Amino acid sequence: MSQPHLRTVVVLAAGEGKRMKSSLPKVLHPLLGRTLLGHVLAAAGPLSADRTVVVVGHGADQVRAHLTEVAPAATPVLQERQLGTGHAVRIALDAVPDAAGTVVVINGDVPLLRPETVAALVEAHEGAAAAATVLAAEVPDPTGLGRIVRDTDGRLAQIVEERDATPQQRALREINAGIYAFDAVRLREALGKLSTDNDQGEEYLTDVFALLRDAGEPVAVHRAADHVETLGCNDRVELAGLRRLLRDRVNEGWMRTGVSLLDPHTTWIDVTVTLERDAVVDQNTQLRGATTVGAGASVGPDTTLVDTTVGEGASVVRSHAVGAEVGPQASVGPYAYLRPESRLARKAKVGTFVETKKATIGEGSKVPHLSYVGDATIGDHSNIGAATVFVNYDGVHKHHTTIGSHARTGADNMFVAPVRVGDGAYTAAGSVITGDVPAGAMAVARGQQRNVEGWVLRKRAGTAAADAARQARDGEAGPGGAASEGD
């Protein structure tokens, strides 16, 4: 039985990215649920490398912190001065002196790279027992990219940076994708021989290929099937272009699994999102983070869900949710805001202009209109009247309100927490509930109404209201009758 290959992944993430014009390191700019660096690490993940080394430089502390979150097993190595890609790989290998087998080197700004392409490169390299293999691509416009120069037999002659290329070499459209596989021993030897005799005065990793070839070592080219995967970005315009390309790839993938996207061009789905068959996503919808949408559920239009679970057959319309859970066949919106730890059970409803936070809403219960439900538990099959506020904050601490099952609360209620309303209880419209309501009771907490007759005619004489009031009273008095002015 053959032994598994030893593999080390080196990600080059030290560059400043000046053209991004950002305080954020280029590799940390987000793209549909991951940073640029996160996408590259995900593409290399299936290689099951023995170790992953990330070369950091500009914004090193920020990049290290990000690695702690997304790839804690990776080893960050600081390149204090950016002296070229060859120098970066050399210090990376110095940090892992026992690295053997295959070393895979990937630029940190190629977020569209697929795991299958990285795996194919490595398999081709190891299968040919090559000293070095470069991933190439044929592109429509090679401006700014290193060129693959082949000899008369079609084999790799050299890799030339554009700034160092001749006019004939610049006309070539086969480019270096910045992704390589090397034999570790031969790579170490060649890195020690690199020169800075070039336009930038840097150690180019690509010069390793010429050194190995001149030494009679086998070097190879593996061409990517789709050049789009090899695209990097240098500014925010290019980043936006990559975002659109990734959006289209993600959306097409979901549609082919049985998800309906009614307008793919206005639908943005993070790569970390999960959708089940027969889910429907309407236009102008964004699904972010760890969001999941169940089978037959409908989301949108004009909806944003972040780290939110939508159950089977549920509906979310023109709403915003963060860290929420919408149960099976539940209904949200339009114009609802579910804040973190909002949980709707099966067939629960949160309706128009309702905001919830740390609220559990039981099966079949409804909060239909114009309400705020915070720090609350609502039982099953209860109804919360319109314009209700759960008063959860006393200026220092938050407090909890509990509404039982099969309760009916009136419109324009205030529940001043901590307070409990029992099962089957009612509260009258306009009540301010400050004490517990026993099961089955009716709570009335409002002042008695007092009508001051004739006030408008006395205090607002000559206004349209007074004229209307007088006409109404004259009509009530009937033919020949006289209406009293009242006191």
Residue 373 sits in which domain range? 275-443
103, 142, 143: which is closest to 122 by C-alpha? 103
471 domain residue, yes or no: no
Q: In whole angstroms, give the CA distance from residue 208 to residue 69.
A: 34
Domain check: are 147 and 293 in the same one? no
Examine the pLDDT at 485 and tell me if it is beyond 50: no
Q: Render pLDDT for 144-174 as a digit per residue (tens, 0 to 9).
A: 899 999 998 889 999 998 888 999 999 999 9
Q: Render pLDDT for 367-379 as a digit per residue (tens, 0 to 9).
A: 999 999 999 999 9
242 domain residue, yes or no: no
Last-in-domain residue among 173, 207, 230: 230
Q: Which pLDDT value is given to residue 479?
A: 62
Q: Which pLDDT value is given to residue 2?
A: 43
Examine the pLDDT at 4 and tell me if it is beyond 90: no
459 domain residue, yes or no: no
* Half-sphere exposure in the Cβ direction for 330 (13 Å, CA): 32
Mean pLDDT of 226-254: 96
Domain check: are 159 and 33 in the same one? yes
Mean pLDDT, the chain, whole residue set = 94
Domain check: are 119 and 175 in the same one? yes
Mean pLDDT of 409-423: 98
485 domain residue, yes or no: no
Q: Which pLDDT value is given to residue 487?
A: 42
Q: Render pLDDT for 45-73 as a digit per residue (tens, 0 to 9).
A: 999 999 999 999 999 999 999 999 999 99
Q: Which pLDDT value is given to residue 135?
A: 98
Domain check: are 62 and 201 in the same one? yes
Cβ atoms of 455 and 471 within 8 Å: the answer is no
Q: Output the CA torsion 118→183→109→167 (10° steps).
A: -100
Q: Render pLDDT for 376-404 as a digit per residue (tens, 0 to 9).
A: 999 999 999 999 999 999 999 999 999 99
100 domain residue, yes or no: yes
Examine the pLDDT at 320 and tell me if it is beyond 90: yes
Domain check: are 324 and 219 in the same one? no
Domain check: are 212 and 311 in the same one? no
Q: Output the CA torsion 299→303→309→315 (10° steps).
A: -40
Single pTM value for the model: 0.91
CATH code of residue 288? 2.160.10.10
Q: pLDDT: is 484 or 19 the higher one?
A: 19
269 domain residue, yes or no: no
Mean pLDDT of 323-348: 98
CATH code of residue 164? 3.90.550.10
The pLDDT-based confidence of 196 (bands split at 50, 70, 90) is confident
How many domains is the chain built from? 2
Q: Render pLDDT for 276-294 as a digit per residue (tens, 0 to 9).
A: 999 999 999 999 999 999 9
Domain check: are 282 and 145 in the same one? no
Domain check: are 301 and 214 in the same one? no
360 domain residue, yes or no: yes
Q: Render pLDDT for 420-441 as a digit per residue (tens, 0 to 9).
A: 999 999 999 999 999 999 999 9
Last-in-domain residue among 230, 253, 286: 230
Domain check: are 70 and 188 in the same one? yes
Last-in-domain residue among 230, 262, 289: 230
Domain check: are 353 and 408 in the same one? yes
Domain check: are 173 and 313 in the same one? no
472 domain residue, yes or no: no
Mean pLDDT of 410-424: 98
**Long-range contact list for 116-125, CB < 8 A, 24+ apart?**
117/43, 117/224, 117/225, 117/226, 117/229, 118/43, 118/44, 118/46, 118/47, 118/179, 119/46, 119/47, 120/222, 121/179, 121/181, 121/222, 122/7, 122/47, 122/181, 124/220, 124/222, 125/181, 125/220, 125/222
Give the active site residues: 369
Domain check: are 192 and 118 in the same one? yes
